[in-house]
Structure 1
């Protein structure tokens, strides 16, 4: 397994070391995932996408039929608060089988980073949506509940800025926004096709904080270079802290895309109006569906799904959020003003 280390190197050597570490992580991740799928009992089912289509319309949502995901996945936990404490007595990622571990990264991926990430464990998602679908669990033995923190965001930026294959995307569902396990984790999925949000126009709210209105309201932070990660993470965590204090469930999506004719990493965050428990259904509105990747577990739903139906389902799931109030509060926060 891969364990990275940090050394004091000149800038060019540090940059080279960073790239080498990420290439190694990507290579080991893909090779190990395929090996486990072929030769182990790590998965509840072998990924079998029976059909795929792109819906007509502006959103160009990619819909896949995967019936096993609905029938064979682990039962989601009951969530009552977006800051619900970690519970040692229910399922958590310390309890997974050893065969589900893909690799462990020790310390930061970027040799220049000043804040170590500790041990970050990559697990297979044993009910995969896509090829290479994995769970990224920072400091898995420290009982961190599913509440985003700065360290996790910085690691996500480190990872995404270095992955050579831009089919990889990262997603996060907060408690109350269809997280199924109350243990800090990100999803790493692989979708070869372009997704709508990646190149969609974003409107600037304030310095390097943008918004998008379709398919629903979200805020976006572009990451122009991996060295910006700390500044972006600091701003981003102000939003996360605000959402947690206001009990606003949220979904996060991190992807490569274009902005101002530049290829870069974008971080989207989607606020929701109320708590939602994850339940077994043909599909739920979590981070995947919000960005136009829709895995469906029912043949009839797959065959009859339209963009209008999907957008209506997204609107209903997000609920009546007060966009103007949220925008105003966030603008005060990132301007270092105090919210009453």
Structure 2
């Protein structure tokens, strides 16, 4: 999914405000599927209202590259339950992705970056309360901007950005990921997801950001059982899904430690030249416990996919397979392809970007040892 914002815009644009929250607002029980599909407004928390109302207001003001209506959607026949959506305008109107030559490419101020966003594109600043006292060894990141993606993938598609003037490259940090974990727990909708694309994994802008968006369909990666990877007690491996990957799980506790572990694993991949994608979503415990009553999601699943790095000019012509596709959500830009797409075709395209099994097996051992107590 491409990350976009535009040059300074019209006078009279709305100004952002602070969204101050505490962990008491985390929704740890009851965020479940009432029906399928689930419209994004069918249940709203204070966070959902702030995001959706601000996002729709910006759509009315014409701050997006196109008007996003209800997207034609189909669940492909087959065991993977792939969710395909037709979004023609995103395919034609979004900004061209930057050329990426390394998974650790430094920030380049001459390329498009988020210092160029218009003030009206910022919905609010997320701030955690109470503020961390200076003597407590606080993280450097004490707020993130929640900004519209001007080429939206779905309703409520936003970016979570650290202060843009820090000029941070697209390498995931525990501080930013912690805000992403918070955002998912602040939403009452089980289909609000947060994700990250590394360089070489179809990040389109080399400036640190997360994606957040609503999708009104459950995904198999949120319920499929996973195998533990000993000796790391909190690390699992997920098979039998569109793309096998590493799984971390929390029921809402230990979020700082969870964010650090995910980023330690991600940094290990980068040191070996391996690109990665991350998805944060509500989901079932890893060992395949029965679903909760009413489809309620019991906790957070964080998926980390190690994958082939798509680098250089030729990568721009390849079929983009980023966090959505690996999770089983398939944005499609052309109507004929959308209507004729089969599960086998989609899985074939996804698996071209995966690591060979011997390399993945080596990484399973590496990460299990890295995250061992």
Same fold (TM over 0.5): yes
Q: Does 1:190 pair with 2:226?
A: no
Q: Give yes or no for the alignment of 1:334 onto 2:371.
A: yes
CA distance in 1, matches of 2:131, 2:238: 34
1:305-316 matches, within 5 Å, as 305-316=341-352
Could you report, residue by residue, the CA deviation over 1:221-254 in whole angstroms, capped at 9, with x for unpaired residues?
00122x3112212222220110111111000001
Alignment pair present for 1:290 and 2:326: yes
Q: Which runs of 5+ in 2 are unaligned?
A: 1-15, 28-43, 293-297
The reply to whether residue 249 of structure 1 matches residue 275 of structure 2 is: yes
User: TM-score, length-normalised on structure 1?
Assistant: 0.88
Secondary structure class of the residue paired with 1:60 = coil
Q: Is the 8 A contact 1:274 1:319 kept in 2?
A: no
2:169–2:207 contact (8 Å) kept in structure 1: yes
Give structure 1 stretches of 5+ with no counterpart.
7-13
TM-score with structure 2 setting the length? 0.81
**Contact 2:101–2:311 (Cα < 8 Å) also in 1:** no
Q: CA deviation at 1:110?
A: 6.9
Report the secondary structure of 1:330's partner residue.
Answer: helix
Residue 318 in structure 1 maps to residue 345 in structure 2: no
Q: Give secondary structure in 2 for the equivalent of 1:230.
A: helix
Query: Which of 1 and 2 has higher RCO (CA within 8 Å, sep 6+)?
Result: 2
Contact 1:49 1:65 in 2 (8 A): no
| Cα shift readout 1:194-235 (whole Å, capped 9, x = no counterpart) | 11111111111130111112322200000122x311221222
> For residues 1-340 of structure 1, what are the structure 2 equivalents within 5 Å?
1-3=16-18, 15-16=23-24, 23-38=45-60, 40-106=61-127, 108=128, 115-116=138-139, 117-205=141-229, 206-213=232-239, 214-225=241-252, 227-259=253-285, 260-261=289-290, 263-276=298-311, 279=316, 284-320=320-356, 322-335=359-372
Alignment RMSD: 2.3
CA distance in 1, matches of 2:83, 2:26: 33
Question: Contact between 1:146 and 1:174, CA under 8 Å: does it hold in 2?
Answer: yes
Report how many residues are paired.
323
Which digits, 9 at most, give the CA deviation of each residue in 1:73-101, with x for residues without a partner?
Answer: 01110011111111111100110122211
- CA–CA distance in 1 between the matches of 2:248 and 2:362? 19
Greater helix content:
1
Return the alpha-carbon distance in structure 2 between the equivalents of residues 241 and 73 of structure 1. 29
Distance in 2 (CA, whole Å) between partners of 1:109 and 1:269 is 28
Aligned to 1:10: none
Partners in 2 of 1:15 and 1:138 — Cα distance? 20
Instruction: Provide closer, same or farther for how the CA distance between residues 60 and 324 of structure 1 changes in structure 2, counting only shifts above 3 A.
Output: same
Stretch of structure 1 that moved more, 242-251 or 92-101: 92-101
